[in-house]
Amino acid sequence: MEYTRLGKTDIEVSRVCVGCMSFGKPTMHAWTLDEAASEQVICHALDLGINVFDTANCYSSGTSEEYLGRALKRNQIPRDKVVLASKVYFNEGRLSKEAIQREIEGSLKRLGTDYLDLYIIHRFDYDTPMEETMEALDGLVQ
């Protein structure tokens, strides 16, 4: 596996990332993988040297994050050996300060971790001032 740095950070990431939209209960799509099949994919990716997993608060009503978090825990994968990314937008309040705070707390709980390596805005929110969104994200970093 080839690795590179995430932006200007010292976080080393595999050049291949596992998108986790296909993990979770079939609340969004009939083609989602159950927990056992999701765990097989996650473990195989780790065996191949892939260390980046990209999910979202809305994927399968949060069960994508739950499946990923439980698979990492069951397989005793040290938190510093994986790079976890999640997204925010499809929720009440979209990218308001209150919504971002609520949704990050939910994502962290579902993933069973106390931090994300990367938090991604899933869509632009035309109803929330950009300054409010950026202040909320900066607050998370701080």
Report helix, strand or coil for 104.
helix
Residues spanned by the domain of 78: 3-141
Residue 6 · residue 117 · CB < 8 Å: yes
Closest CA to 55 of 106, 13, 21: 21
Closest CA to 106 of 119, 127, 6, 122: 119
The structural domain count of the chain equals 1
Encode pLDDT of 32-66 as tens digits.
Answer: 999 999 999 999 999 999 999 999 999 999 999 99
How many Å apart are CA 69 and CA 46, to the nearest integer?
A: 14
**Residue tagged 């998108």 (tokens):** 19
Encode pLDDT of 10-38 as tens digits.
Answer: 999 999 999 999 999 999 899 999 999 99
Cite the beta strand spans of 20-133 per DSSP E: 52-54, 83-88, 118-121
Encode pLDDT of 74-123 as tens digits.
Answer: 999 999 999 999 999 999 999 999 999 999 999 999 999 999 999 999 99
Q: Model-level pTM?
A: 0.96
Q: In CATH, what number is assigned to the domain containing residue 38?
A: 3.20.20.100
Q: What is the pLDDT of residue 28?
A: 85
Q: Could you give the residue numbers annotated as active site? A: 59
Q: Quick one: pLDDT band at residue 129, thresholds 50, 70, 90? A: very high
